[in-house]
Structure 1
Amino acid sequence: MEIILYLSVALVAIAFFILVVYLVKTLKRVQETLQSLTKTIEGMEKQVNEIGTETSQLLHKTNAAADDVQKKMESLNRLFDTVKQVGATIQTFNDSLAKQLSSNEQKVIQAVQWGNAFLEIWGKWKRRKKTN
């Protein structure tokens, strides 16, 4: 019976040894996986930091571009205001000119009539001269 006891203990020891071997292999694979995961996470941290830096730079450039556009819009607004003032000045000039033409209209009509009368008299005078 002692032999069976020794064989049982030996069988338990062998089974325990096999269990320990598989457990060691499993733990080594888990360790390799964790190391690979650690490297991957470190790489991702580096990439996230780079993305953060690039995003910050892009944000600064975008703000600078927005400021530039704002300044240009203000310049355009001033230009449009100036054009509007020039238009108003031209309109005032046109109104003034129209008023002057309106007040001098009778004088112009009279001058045209005198011119026509002069041309008519001159034409008659030329015809008489030809006939004489």
Structure 2
Amino acid sequence: MEWIIYVSVAIIAVSFAFLVYYLIRTLVAMKATMISLSNTVESLEKQVDSVTKESKELIHKTNILADDMQRKSDALNSVFHAAKDLGDSFQRINLSVKKVSESVSRRADEQSDQIAQAVKWGNVALQFWEKWRAKKSQMDNEKQEEK
């Protein structure tokens, strides 16, 4: 029965040796994985640092651009105010012209009867003048025929 104890101890020893062998292989594989993971993390840190630096530069440039746009917008405000003032001036001029036009139209309507009579008298005078001229011409022709 003693030999069973020896065989059992031998099986335990062999089992322990296999266990240690596979445990060492697992630990070596885990070490390689950890080294790879460490390299990946370092690379990722470098990329994050690069992206952070570029982001800061982009934000800085964006702030400069926004300030420039604000200055230009402020400069254009005076142009828009001037355009508004010009538009207001044109509107006042249009109102003045409209008032003058309405005044002239009203006066013309008020004096239209007088103007119509003046035109009639002008026509009558023109007719008399034409008749007088025709008679004078006829008389001149008769005098020339007598000679």
Asked if Structure 1 and Structure 2 have the same fold, meaning a TM-score greater than 0.5 normalized by the shorter chain, the answer is yes
What TM bracket, shorter-length normalisation? Answer: 0.7 to 0.9
Q: Which amino acid aligns with 2:62?
A: T
Q: How many residues align?
A: 132
Aligned-pair Cα RMSD in Å: 2.8
Q: With structure 2 as the length reference, what TM-score do the two structures score? A: 0.70
**Which residue number in structure 2 is paired with residue 34 of structure 1?**
41
**Which residue number in structure 2 is paired with residue 98 of structure 1?**
105
Larger radius of gyration: 2
**Which residue number in structure 1 is paired with residue 144 of structure 2?**
none
Structure 2 unmatched runs, 5+? 1-5, 140-147
Tell me the percent identity. Answer: 21
Q: Which amino acid aligns with 2:61?
A: E
Separation (CA, whole Å) in 2 of partners of 1:9 and 1:119: 147
My pick for the range that moved more, 48-57 or 79-88, is 48-57
Q: With structure 1 as the length reference, what TM-score do the two structures score? A: 0.76
My pick for the range that moved more, 81-90 or 14-23, is 14-23
Separation (CA, whole Å) in 2 of partners of 1:102 and 1:16: 120
1:71 corresponds, among 64, 70, 78, to: 78
Structure 1 unmatched runs, 5+? none
1:112-127 alignment runs, 5 A limit: 112-127=119-134
Instruction: Give, in angstroms, the shift of residue 85 of structure 1.
Output: 0.3
Separation (CA, whole Å) in 1 of partners of 2:92 and 2:44: 70
Q: Which amino acid aligns with 1:36?
A: S
